[in-house]
Homo-oligomer: A and B are copies of this chain.
Amino acid sequence: MRETNREWYFVERPEGEPTLDSFEFRESDVPEPRHGELLVRVRYLSVDPYMRGRMRDAESYAEPWDVGDTLKGGVVGEVVESESDRYEAGDYVTGNGAWADYAVLDADEAAPVDTSVAGLPAYLGVLGMPGRTAYFGLLEVGEPKPGDTVVVSGAAGAVGSVVGQIAKRNGCRVVGFAGSDEKTDWLTDELGFDAAINYKSTDDYAAALDDAAPGGVDVYFDNVGGPITDAVFTKLNLDARVAVCGQIAHYNDEGAPTGPRKLPMLIAPRAKVQGLLVGDYATRFEEAAERLGSWVDAGELEHRETVVEGLENAPDAFLGLFSGDNIGKQVVKVSEE
């Protein structure tokens, strides 16, 4: 075990697109776990778009970070010291912890990791919060029926890639928007999407949808917002469902973004649009873990992680989310397994 710890601190609220100025890397002592806590050697940490919201000094679904706080999020790692009888040294766990070499996790809120099902990074993606978000968001808000056309924005991301594959399992036609040919190829060639649109290679998303979703859109799972979403709303079928999971196109906006009004578009199709937070389904997380785990185990649910090496590069990995650097789940590798 190292003698010192390294941690990332949040030191300045960004305006608009965040920069490295918001982050500071500091050395500290390795923390000591208290009763019920675990000291974990972090192997991988998660950077997620929703964290941009925590950088604002405004109440929202995720508690805002105070300037001076340690940055925290999903981590996966090895227990090196346990003050709980639920885990012992050597166990692999995932939970919410600091962007650090060593993090203290609440044992009650940590979850065990089974490395025979998938590698550690998958527990921050398909078998972690993003996978659960896809599972509940699509099934409970999107309510896909066989034969439906399901459109996903941010389709090559951690959530979108799982949404599309679950929709395929449910007998839907699936169309994804993503930001490179490498991503769209992954969607159609590996994940079984029926069509994928590289939104950086066309401006006319409505025409692209006419080709890719000629029967209109029954379910839209939105991770992005902006012009992609504007186009999809003009194609909603009768009784369409829209799950608003994320709006990454707007996370860096200062002030209220404007765009085409969508409420007038909802009347004729009687469409339903609903915001979604995975925490609302906490009582059913075990169900999601079992089903997602069994699909991954059976090789029926593909997943991919984009790995940035080194704790020192964690802020860069976070900033890369806003330029779409990642395919699948973006993680940071903190230490060797």
Complex CA gap A38/B154 in Å reads 57
Q: Is the CB of B276 within 8 A of A264?
A: no
A residues 271-289 with Cβ under 8 Å of B?
Answer: 271-277, 280
Q: Is the CB of B257 within 8 A of A261?
A: yes
Complex CA gap A280/B267 in Å reads 12
Q: Is the CB of A244 within 8 A of B261?
A: no
Complex CA gap A280/B264 in Å reads 18
- Chain B residues in 8 Å Cβ range of A273: 263, 266, 272-274
Copies in the complex: 2
A37 within 8 A of B: no
Q: Mark A43-60, 1 if CB is under 8 A from B, else 0.
A: 000000000000000001
Complex CA gap A205/B303 in Å reads 47
A225 within 8 A of B: yes
Interface residues contributed by chain A, number (CB under 8 Å): 32
Q: Is the CB of B257 within 8 A of A222?
A: no
| A30 CB, nearest partner CB in chain B, Å | 36
Q: Is the CB of A247 within 8 A of B267?
A: yes
Q: Is the CB of A225 within 8 A of B261?
A: yes
Complex CA gap A229/B274 in Å reads 17
A258 within 8 A of B: yes
Q: Is the CB of B260 within 8 A of A258?
A: yes
What are the nearest 7 A-B pairs in CB distance? A266-B275, A267-B275, A272-B274, A273-B273, A247-B264, A256-B260, A61-B268
